[in-house]
Chains A and B, each alone.
Chain A
Amino acid sequence: AQSVTQLGSHVSVSEGALVLLRCNYSSSVPPYLFWYVQYPNQGLQLLLKYTSAATLVKGINGFEAEFKKSETSFHLTKPSAHMSDAAEYFCAVTYSSNSGYALNFGKGTSLLVTP
């Protein structure tokens, strides 16, 4: 099954600093990759997705991610962190067609933004 690994369960940045959340995937076929955000006591909300149209994907709230096949990576970045970015972030990949195209999620990275 296709899977993702998120490096770092907790990341802390200062307000205004660069946000970098790491995700590496394992897939035998070209993957479809997603980043979701979860605010406290809420469901998951899509930030962006990669479906092979373009390697640099722009999402909501100023986030973007670059698909790098040579590195099997799909890292999430934002140039300048805001306090409101504090949340849990999940990278995900489509399992496969025989799992109803469900998403296989990484374990998540908790982003803390300090003043």
Chain B
Amino acid sequence: NAGVTQTPKFRVLKTGQSMTLLCAQDMNHEYMYWYRQDPGMGLRLIHYSVGEGTTAKGEVPDGYNVSRLKKQNFLLGLESAAPSQTSVYFCASRIWENTGELFFGEGSRLTVL
């Protein structure tokens, strides 16, 4: 009964390094999302996917890329990390029905030095 699992949970990067955050869900959900959470800013949508093989930009997509090669996985990549990307990243998923709630992972805390 894992739900939404994010790895890694913590990571420290140097400016310019790259990394990938992995999100996996076992609920057979069609929709998946990546948000970032910063103090006083709430959660802001980075990218989302409405199905396997599809991705789209959210509110703050610059500096990030995503891929959804398998329905259960949604990857968030940082090609060249910047200090402004220091944040807590949350993955979420939901069913196709438009009133369905989002199910969240426990977050991945990223620090860019």
Residues of chain A having any CB pair with chain B under 8 Å:
9, 32, 34, 41-46, 49, 51, 90, 94-95, 97, 99-108
> Among A42, A51, A94, A108, which residue has its beta carbon within 8 angstroms of that of B42?
A108
The answer to whether B58 touches A102, judged by C-beta atoms less than 8 angstroms apart, is yes
The answer to whether B45 touches A102, judged by C-beta atoms less than 8 angstroms apart, is yes
> Among A9, A51, A99, A105, which residue has its beta carbon within 8 angstroms of that of B48?
A99
Contact (A51, B99) CB under 8 Å given A9-B40, A44-B90, A100-B56: yes
Q: How far is the CA of A51 from the CA of B97 in the complex (A)?
A: 12
19 A-B pairs in the complex with CB atoms less than 8 angstroms apart:
A32-B98, A34-B101, A42-B106, A43-B104, A44-B90, A44-B92, A49-B101, A90-B42, A90-B43, A94-B98, A99-B45, A99-B56, A100-B33, A100-B50, A102-B102, A103-B43, A105-B43, A107-B41, A107-B42
Q: How far is the CA of A46 from the CA of B99 in the complex (A)?
A: 13
Residues of chain B having any CB pair with chain A under 8 Å:
4, 31, 33, 35, 40-45, 48-50, 56, 58, 90, 92, 94, 98-102, 104-107
Instruction: Tally inter-chain residue pairs, CB-CB below 8 A.
Output: 62
CB distance from A20 to the nearest CB of B (A): 19
CB distance from A91 to the nearest CB of B (A): 9
CB distance from A25 to the nearest CB of B (A): 14
CB distance from A50 to the nearest CB of B (A): 9
